[in-house]
Amino acid sequence: MFKGSIVAIVTPFKDNKLDEQALKDLIEWHIAEGTNAIVPCGTTGESATLEYEEHYRIIELTIQTVNGRVPVIAGTGANSTDETIMMTGKARDLGADGALLVVPYYNKPTQEGLYRHYKAVADAVDIPIVLYNVPGRTALNMLPQTVARLAGIKNIVAIKEASGNLAQVSEVIRLCGDKLSVLSGDDFTTFPLMTLGGKGTISVAANVAPKDVSEMCAALNEGDYDAARKLHFKLEPLNKAMFIETNPISVKTALSLMGKIQEEMRLPLCPMSMENKEKLKNIIRNYGLL
């Protein structure tokens, strides 16, 4: 259902408020550059510091701007099951094509608790659900056996796998087969993950190089591994640059240097150090983005 280059889009701010025009302009640019789907209010969208009404407005504005041209997968995960159901239901009512649900963070449920959490949301809200495993942020790894159990639920259709562990990714693909689309959650793993049978990526780097990420995914889905490999190696310096500082500090700084958004993130995230900003500027200049 969801495949190719899916951007985890930033939330542009201006004077600590959503910059609606900048978000609309970013979305139009992404569609023109070949991005296959858009995720508002994910990690890169600073969902952790959005108020509910801001969160819903970003989803609504994204859906309105996209106007059916590509799928919109709304980030609606929380560490409370009831809250996740509430937000996911709102995204469905706004017209989202799917919902991205991060593994509950901080409270560290068991694998059985994870299964029950996702099943409860899937049972309560009739919308395609994308699981999101990112143990580096949640302090909890959703194991392949749990993913395989969840793949048996009709409206759980995909997983964003950001463990960085290709052995785990391989096991998820082996266990789930065609029941679940596996998407990369780490840009550096997109090429190997898709050669194992993954269907695409929910990408940070696509924020700044949407055409290259889209073309790499298209080449992989068409079996043109030589073309995809060239793009993978071209993208690697950029992939690394997006994590010079905590995501999304680097990507928002890069977009500001490119003239796309204001250089503004919400506390406790703060602007890049000048030293790191110079490193980033040199990398994106060498890439051809400046």
106 in catalytic set: no
105 in catalytic set: no
Q: Which of 132, 199, 252, 277 is catalytic?
A: 132
- Interhelix angle for 52-66 vs 81-94, to 10°? 30
Q: Which of 160, 199, 252, 277 is catalytic?
A: 160
Other Cβ atoms closer than 10 A to 126: 11
Phi, psi (deg, nearest 5) at residue 114: -60, -45
Tokens coding 284: 């994106």
Strands annotated E in 140-244:
156-161, 181-184, 200-203
- Interhelix angle for 81-94 vs 111-124, to 10°? 30
Report, in angstroms and rounded to the nearest whole number, the Rg of the chain calculated over CA atoms. Answer: 18
List the end-to-end C-alpha distance of the chain, in Å, as a whole number.
35
Could you list the active site residues?
132, 160
